[in-house]
A and B are shown apart, each in its own frame.
Chain A
Amino acid sequence: MVDFTLWDILRNLLLAARWTLVLSMIAFVGGGVGGILLLVLRLSRVPAAAAIVRGVVQVFQGTPLLMQLFLAYFGIALLGVDVSPWVAATAALTLYSSAFLAEIWRGCVEGVPRGQWEAADALALSFPQKLRDVILPQALRTAVPPTVGFLVQVVKGTALASIIGFVEVTKAGQVIVNATFRPFTVYGFVALTYFALCFPITWASRRLERRLNGSR
């Protein structure tokens, strides 16, 4: 049997943390793009589009992320495609992030005073112009802190990808536990790894929020 020193455990977890980071980044960036698309649909004056987006957001917010991962995993397999955990995890986490970011940003857009919309209407701006030149720049200011805060949710959400076989920190922890029989130490280190990833983001989000409130 191989002996694992504490350093071996930590080193392997840190190596696996790369994949937690990569998966988080893909999901967050993909979710940003998807979130913008959903947001624009939601704000458009087409009632059906807005209703569909509202439904999509409610489904993603009202069901477990774990089930969404399983649906991506089994759903893609159903189409006869060979699914890798990578494909299923990135697909599910990207959709999940899209729905949540769309909802966060909608709140920020609604925080922009109605008069701004009316003023833009009075200038006969088109819908894309209104969004691009008037509304979104103002919404962006308030959107940064909660968006950064949501990144923490994404990083923590990637832990569930371990269940469909994606090897990131949590899965690596399980593998190491099976080799070392030291669950207390290993899961302790796993938790510390997540804390080291998430706490700086939480801290930054809180700081950004305080600065935003201070400038009012």
Chain B
Amino acid sequence: MTVDLDFLAVLAQWPQLARGAALTVGLTVASTLGGLAIGVGGAWARHDAPAWLRWPVVAYVEAMRNTPFIVQLFFLFFGLPSLGIRLSPVAASILAMTVNLGAYATEIFRGALLATPRGQVEAAASLALSRAQIFFHVVLPPALKQAWPATTSQIVIVMLGSAVCGQISAAELSYYANLIQSRNFRAFEATIVATVIYLALAVALRQALMVAGTRWLFGHSGVASGRAAAPASGSGPHP
């Protein structure tokens, strides 16, 4: 038997694929910003907050980590309207990805915060910094730096998970792959092309995040590496 494949029929629809990939990137960027903010807040709550605030955060993290993303998405998109909250497919996708990433980021950052040496906190306290100042200026920056590789992996996982958002008709990459194959019946080819684009996006996103992490987020001006860079500037006692 022969298997007849026609990738050109799919590739001819490149404008749609590009539009879909653009929304996939857009969803990822939006949910990364929101998710990391939740992660910082959640990690602070687990680390520093009173118990009445800590337990809801624990419950949120466990609820997210022990249920599938697709169910979270369906709950937000199909379930919330019965409470009068009607979200567009894109808004529901961003919200679902954000709260999902937020839970994992909370857990990743919390683990990194635990690694902070006690002496640093005591030193900061002896400088009369407030608790909030200690958290945001002393404890958090090196913890974020340490957590960045794991965070990067999690962001890539969330980006790949966004393929499900096509199921609620958010017009991202997998949605267009489905649309194309429903018109030309090249189901396998359309899926292969979309898969290859996802792979390229995953590799590019990982690279971009690692570069962003080392060069901009935690680079020269960062607290953690600022110390290491200081002696190089001039007449220190170092050889």
A binds B: yes
Residues of A within 8 A of B (CB): 59, 62-68, 70-71, 74-75, 77-80, 152, 156-157, 159-160, 162-163, 170, 173-174, 177, 182-184, 187-188, 190-191, 194-195, 198-199, 202
Q: Judging by beta carbons under 8 Å apart, are B79 and A184 in contact?
A: yes
Q: What is the size, in residues, of chain B's interface with A at 8 Å between Cβ atoms? A: 38
Q: Judging by beta carbons under 8 Å apart, are B163 and A66 in contact?
A: yes
Chain B 62-105, CB-CB to A under 8 Å as 1, else 0, gives 11011111111011001111110000000000000000000000
Please classify the interface of chain B as helix (H, G, I), strand (E, B), loop, or mixed, using the class held by over half of its residues. Answer: helix
Q: Judging by beta carbons under 8 Å apart, are A62 and B68 in contact?
A: no
Instruction: Point out the residues of chain B lying under 8 angstroms from A75, CB to CB.
Output: 188
Please classify the interface of chain A as helix (H, G, I), strand (E, B), loop, or mixed, using the class held by over half of its residues. Answer: helix
Q: Judging by beta carbons under 8 Å apart, are A156 and B69 in contact?
A: yes
Instruction: Point out the residues of chain B lying under 8 angstroms from A162, CB to CB.
Output: 70
A157 and chain B: residue at smallest CB distance:
B68
Q: Judging by beta carbons under 8 Å apart, are B195 and A170 in contact?
A: no
Q: Judging by beta carbons under 8 Å apart, are A194 and B67 in contact?
A: yes
Q: Judging by beta carbons under 8 Å apart, are B63 and A195 in contact?
A: yes
Cβ contact of A160, chosen from B65, B70, B191, cutoff 8 A: B70
Closest Cβ–Cβ distance, residue B74 to chain A (whole Å): 5
Instruction: Point out the residues of chain A lying under 8 angstroms from B162, CB to CB.
Output: 64
Q: Which 8 A-B pairs have the closest CB atoms?
A: A159-B68, A64-B163, A198-B66, A183-B78, A184-B79, A62-B202, A156-B68, A74-B188
Instruction: Point out the residues of chain A lying under 8 angstroms from B72, CB to CB.
Output: 191
A80 and chain B: residue at smallest CB distance:
B1
Report the bound CA distance from A53 to B188 in whole Å.
24
Closest Cβ–Cβ distance, residue B11 to chain A (whole Å): 17
- In the complex, the number of residue pairs spanning A and B with C-beta atoms less than 8 Å apart equals 116
Q: What are 9 sample pairs from A and B whose C-beta atoms fall under 8 A apart? A: A63-B198, A64-B195, A78-B188, A156-B68, A156-B69, A163-B167, A191-B71, A195-B66, A199-B62
Known: A191-B63, A191-B75. 8 other contacts (CB 8 A): A62-B160, A63-B202, A66-B163, A74-B187, A183-B75, A183-B81, A194-B71, A198-B67
In the complex where A183-B78, A191-B75 touch, is A64 in contact with B198 (Cβ < 8 A)?
yes
B77 and chain A: residue at smallest CB distance:
A183
Report the bound CA distance from A195 to B161 in whole Å.
19
* Cβ of B3 under 8 Å from chain A: yes
* Cβ of B192 under 8 Å from chain A: yes
B residues 47-65 in Cβ contact with A at 8 Å:
62-63, 65
Cβ contact of A170, chosen from B63, B68, B199, cutoff 8 A: B68
B195 and chain A: residue at smallest CB distance:
A67
Report the bound CA distance from A159 to B66 in whole Å.
12
Instruction: Point out the residues of chain A lying under 8 angstroms from B187, CB to CB.
Output: 70, 74, 77
Q: Judging by beta carbons under 8 Å apart, are B174 and A67 in contact?
A: yes
Q: Judging by beta carbons under 8 Å apart, are A187 and B74 in contact?
A: yes
Instruction: Point out the residues of chain B lying under 8 angstroms from A64, CB to CB.
Output: 160-164, 174, 195, 198
Instruction: Point out the residues of chain B lying under 8 angstroms from A190, CB to CB.
Output: 71, 74-75
Task: From A66, A170, A183, name the one whose CB has the most chain B CB atoms within 10 angstroms.
Answer: A66
Report the bound CA distance from A74 to B198 in whole Å.
18
B residues 158-194 in Cβ contact with A at 8 Å:
160-164, 167, 174, 187-188, 191-192, 194
* Cβ of B132 under 8 Å from chain A: no
* Cβ of B30 under 8 Å from chain A: no
* Cβ of B203 under 8 Å from chain A: yes
Closest Cβ–Cβ distance, residue B63 to chain A (whole Å): 7
A162 and chain B: residue at smallest CB distance:
B70
Closest Cβ–Cβ distance, residue A175 to chain B (whole Å): 13
Report the bound CA distance from A160 to B69 in whole Å.
9
Q: Judging by beta carbons under 8 Å apart, are B71 and A62 in contact?
A: no
Cβ contact of A70, chosen from B70, B78, B191, cutoff 8 A: B191
Closest Cβ–Cβ distance, residue A103 to chain B (whole Å): 11
Instruction: Point out the residues of chain A lying under 8 angstroms from B75, CB to CB.
Output: 183-184, 187-188, 190-191
